[in-house]
Amino acid sequence: MGFDPDRQVIGLDIGTGASAIYPLLACRQRPQWRFLATEIDEKNREYAQRNILANKLQARIRLIDTDVKGDRLIPTDQLERFDRVDILITNPPFYPSTESLLDSVRQKSRPPNSSCTGSAVEMITPGGEVGFVSKLVAESRLRANKSKIQWFSAMLGKLSSVGTVVERLRESGCANYAVAEFVQGQRTRRWCVAWSWMGYRPAADVARSVGGGSGVEKKLLPTITEVEFEAESRGAGVEAVLDRIGAEIKRLDGVLWKIDHGGGVGMFMSRDGDVWSRKARRRKKAEGELGHGRETRPTRAADQKARERKHDADTDMKDDNGSSDSNSSDEETAPEPALVVRISITPSPSPPRSDPPPPSRSSVDTNIPIQSRTGTVSNTATTDKIPIMRIHMRHLQGRDPVLFESFCGWLKRKMAAPLPRPLSSSSS
């Protein structure tokens, strides 16, 4: 699930600046990537176009029109021709005013290692970087944007801004986000906050890409997307554990389970969410009792009422011009599954556990000395060694992080249950 060099990616850079450096770097390093870019300053836009032409990347990087007043950051109308945008990036102005910029310079004990090449429009904006990104968060919630753009991201120059932006996201109901830190040299640090309104989840090293000394409080980090634990394996190692997991999952209703025995990987999907907890089982039982003895086919009157409700709902979703507030996206016709998890099994570096000898079918006293072929006399049967397997669970898709944690807890409890030991047949 790493980098796919053949996948085409479309990015959008908000406020690309005179250098257009991020689209240039991305397209130079990733041959299949394409970039759109906006810039409200006419002079910066002119230089950005020159840089794109000088690098012969005009076929893959396009400057698009945007609101020159800056009232709207995302050029939603310009994105209508594209099926999707994979990532939106922005390196917003850090300072709310010229005065705050100068104060920041005066507070530095040593001169900078390099000169500042940013123009005023690239360095200063009302509200500073927090105001800029907060506005971007609000725009990202618009239906046309959150269904078109998979990931939004913003670079931040102040550590204090990270907490404020994360709180804005949480207040907006976003639970799918990532926090990263970039260290440049010995002194310069930058941070990035990325978020998505879709269900695709980043790996743990992306979602929580901060070091121990980053200064980012642990409470600001997103929920976990990976869980790992160990389980005993009897039989054919990895395959035995996969089969054991599959046996537990197949007892659940309305789920999909696919196995790649060769790769030691299983894919789990639940469209309806929690179908494994006691609460879910009680709900299923109650629904079964409620529906027992009733007609399984709705009456004609019920059909008519259902059609009327659907018509009313469709009418409510239309604007004043009679057009529906829907772009007929796949999100409407095929809702995202509630949970998708990849489960990988690998041998654990932990030493095998010792298993006491199994009970014998014979009633003969097992304390009678037994002589082996080598002549060694022992009063104790051979102790079995149980191989240990590592189970790694990766949250791939699903908007509810609590659902993932619940599923991991359920499977861990199932796999922690002691395995039945085979009876010894040596004395039968």
CB 343 within 8 A of CB 407: no
**pLDDT confidence tier of residue 212, bands split at 50, 70 and 90:** confident
- For the record, the structure tokens of 209 come out as 């890409």
SS3 402: helix
Rounded to an integer, the average pLDDT of 157-171 is 96
What is the C-alpha separation between 73 and 45, in angstroms, rounded? 16
> In this structure, what DSSP letter does residue 418 have?
P
pLDDT the model gives residue 353: 66
pLDDT the model gives residue 101: 44
pLDDT the model gives residue 103: 52
What is the C-alpha separation between 254 and 272, in angstroms, rounded? 7
Whether pLDDT at 4 is above 70: yes
- For the record, the structure tokens of 230 come out as 């160990």
Q: Which stretch of 189-198, 237-246, 368-377 has the lowest confidence by average pLDDT?
A: 368-377
pLDDT the model gives residue 358: 56
Residues of the chain with CATH 3.30.310.80: 224-285+335-356+384-417
Q: Which of 405, 416, 408, 410 is nearest to 241 (CA)?
A: 416
CB neighbours of 315 closer than 8 A, spacing ≥ 6? none
Whether pLDDT at 29 is above 50: yes
For the domain made up of 9-107+119-220, the CATH class stated in words is: alpha beta
Rounded to an integer, the average pLDDT of 116-128 is 59
pLDDT the model gives residue 288: 73
**pLDDT confidence tier of residue 420, bands split at 50, 70 and 90:** low
Q: Which of 191, 187, 185 is nearest to 215 (CA)?
A: 191
pLDDT the model gives residue 293: 52
User: How crowded is the C-beta side of 234, counted as CA atoms within 13 Å?
Assistant: 9
Say what the pTM is. Answer: 0.76
Q: State the amino acid at position 115 in one-letter form.
A: S
Rounded to an integer, the average pLDDT of 286-292 is 70
Give the DSSP per-residue string, 217-268.
Answer: -GGGSPPP-EEEEEEE--SSTHHHHHHHHHHHHTTSSSEEEEEETTTTEEEE
- Cβ burial of 408 (10 Å; 0-12, 13-18, 19+) is buried
More confident residue, 352 or 67: 67
**Tens-digit pLDDT profile for residues 56-99:** 999 999 999 998 887 899 999 999 999 999 999 999 985 454 45
Q: Measuring CA to CA, how many Å separate 401 from each of 108, 111, 169, 201?
A: 41, 45, 15, 9
Q: What is the CATH number of domain 224-285+335-356+384-417?
A: 3.30.310.80
pLDDT the model gives residue 331: 43
What is the C-alpha separation between 205 and 189, in angstroms, rounded? 18
pLDDT the model gives residue 96: 53
Q: Which of 295, 421, 404, 282 is nearest to 353 (CA)?
A: 421
Whether pLDDT at 20 is above 90: yes
SS3 35: strand
Whether pLDDT at 15 is above 60: yes
Whether pLDDT at 313 is above 50: no
178 sits in which H/E element: strand 177-184
Q: Which of 348, 359, 352, 337 is nearest to 407 (CA)?
A: 337
CB 63 within 8 A of CB 37: yes
Rounded to an integer, the average pLDDT of 343-351 is 88
Q: Which stretch of 41-55, 78-92, 124-138, 155-169 has the lowest confidence by average pLDDT?
A: 124-138
Residues of the chain with CATH 3.40.50.150: 9-107+119-220
Whether pLDDT at 425 is above 80: no
pLDDT the model gives residue 332: 46
Q: State the amino acid at position 269 in one-letter form.
A: M
- For the record, the structure tokens of 242 come out as 């996969």
Angle between helices 21-29 and 42-54 (to 10 degrees): 20
In whole numbers, what is the pLDDT of the chain averaged over residues?
81
Q: Which residues of 300-337 are buried (b: 16+ CB within 10 A; e: fewer)?
A: eeeeeeeeeeeeeeeeeeeeeeeeeeeeeeeeeeeeeb
pLDDT the model gives residue 325: 40
pLDDT the model gives residue 227: 97
Q: What does the radius of gyration of the chain's CA atoms come to, in whole angstroms?
A: 29
Q: Which stretch of 11-25, 319-333, 337-351, 383-397 has the lowest confidence by average pLDDT?
A: 319-333
Whether pLDDT at 302 is above 50: no
Whether pLDDT at 262 is above 60: yes
- For the record, the structure tokens of 279 come out as 């609460």
